[in-house]
Structure 1
C-alpha cells in the first residue's frame, strides 16, 4: 500500500479551510481514479493537552490518500489530474496561496487491540508525526523503529489505528513542493479527548525511553493532532 501525503501550511498561522472548500475537496478526492481511501485532516476546533504542543498548531489542511500500489499513485499525480488542481488551490479560495508539499511513502500498518470506534464517534482524531531526517544509517533507523515503537504504541489506551510510513522513490508532475521526510506516523483515536488521555498515560514514558535509544538522526520531529474525515471512492 502506498500513501500520498499533501500538506497545506500557512506561515502566518491565521488561515483555515472553509466549509465550502472542504466539501469541494471531498468530492474531488472521491473522484480520483485508483484511490482506495482518502483521509482529510483539519485542525482541532479546540486545543487539547498533549506532550508536544510546542510544535505549533499544525497545517491548515492535509490529506492522505491510500493507493494499492505505486503505479496507481503516480497515475494520480500527473500534471492533468485532480490532485494537480488541488495542489494549486484552483477553485478553492481558502487553500490558494498556501505552502503546499507532497510525498509518496510506503504504508506499514500495525495491529491494535480494538480497531472499532466507540459508539457515537463522528470525527475521529489522528496524531500526525513526521521525522524530516536524515538518519546516519537509514537501515538501522528503520530496523529499530519498526521493531520497537509500534508495540509500545499499541498499548496506548483507545488507539484505533497505527500506521508508519517509510520512504520510496516516486515520480510526479504536481505544482507543489516535493519533500522527502525519512518517516511519518499516524495514530488514530475516537476524539481529541481520547488522544489527550492516551498521551497523558504512562505509555508516553515508555515511548520516551525508546526514543533515547534511537539510532542517530537529525531534524527532530513534529506532532500534530488533527480531526479526520474518511472519504471513500465514488461509485
Structure 2
C-alpha cells in the first residue's frame, strides 16, 4: 500500500509555491513516484454543499511506494524540505502548510484512463473527515464497504482514492494535520465534476453518508484544479 504525504497550504489568494519550480525540484526526491499540486476552483461547483470560505491556497500530494523512503525524504533539511524551499514564493513558516502522512487505497473506475490517456491536468474533489469517530474501526469498515462502490458509479469518474491515518516521522517544520480520513474523486474538468455532483448517484451517496457510524468534526469539501507529475523510478 502506498504512503502519501499531504501538505495543506494556508488559505489565501496567493499561491504558495511556483508549480513549475516544484515539479523540477521533485525529480531529485528519491522514491517519489507521483506529485500532484491542487489549486482551488473558483465559484460554486457542488449544488448540495456550499463552497467553503477557507479553501487552502494549495494542496500538495507526494506519493511513495512505501513509508520508509517517504520518511527518509522527510528528514530535517531533507529532499522534500529542500524542494519546498526552492519553489516557495515566500519564506516557509510553521503555519505555511499542515502536514499529514496517510495510507492510500485506490479504486479503479470503469472509465479509468490508460497510460496513453494519462493527462497532467484534471479536476479533483478533495474531502477531509476531521473526526474523531466513536469507533474508528467501525467507521472505516462501513465507509469502505458502502461508499467506494457508489463513487465508482459517478458519471465520467477517472480516479477514486481513500486515505487513512498512517504514523510516520517527519523533520518538516509544519504543524501536523489530524484528519481521520481523506478522499478524492477525479474528473477531466470542473464541468464533469459539477455534472457528477448533480447526478442521481450523488443522492445515493448522501443517503449512505447518513448511515455512517457516529463521528465528530467537520467534513470540508474542496474543488481543485490538479496538476500531476508521474516520476520515473530512481
Pairwise same-fold verdict (TM > 0.5): yes
Structure 1, 109-118 or 180-189: larger mean CA deviation: 109-118
Determine the C-alpha separation between the residues in 1 that align with 2:86 and 2:144.
39
**Residue of structure 1 in register with 2:15 after alignment:** 16
* CA deviation map 1:108-159 (0-9, x unaligned): 0012111128989662101111011100000000000000000010110000
In the TM superposition, what whole-angstrom CA distance separates every residue of 1:153-180 from its partner, at most 9, and x where no partner exists?
0110000000000111111111011112
Kindly indicate whether residue 63 of structure 2 is the aligned counterpart of residue 66 of structure 1: yes
SS at match of 1:53: coil
> What residue number does 1:162 align with?
160
5 Å matches for 1:44-83? 44=41, 46-50=42-46, 51-56=48-53, 58-83=55-80
Query: Equivalent residues in 2 for 1:137-148 (5 A)?
Result: 137-148=135-146
Q: Distance in 2 between matches of 1:101 and 1:120?
A: 29
CA contact under 8 A between 1:32 and 1:233: conserved in structure 2?
Answer: no
Residues 202-221 of structure 1 correspond to what in structure 2 (within 5 A)?
A: 202-221=200-219
Count of residue correspondences: 229
CA distance 1:95–1:43, change in 2 (3 Å): farther
Gaps of 5+ in 2: none
TM normalised by structure 1 equals 0.89
Cα RMSD after superposing both structures: 2.3
TM-score when normalising by structure 2? 0.89
In the TM superposition, structure 1's runs of 4+ consecutive aligned residues that sit over 4 Å from their partners are 94-98, 117-122
| Pair 1:35–1:209, CA change in 2 (3 A) | same
Match of 2:37 in 1: 40
String of CA shifts for 1:180-220, please: whole Å, max 9, x gaps.
21000011100011000100111111111011100000002
- For residues 152 and 39 of structure 1, the distance between their equivalents in structure 2, rounded to whole angstroms, comes to 25
1:75-224 matches, within 5 Å, as 75-85=72-82, 89=85, 92-94=88-90, 96-97=92-93, 99-116=96-113, 123-224=121-222
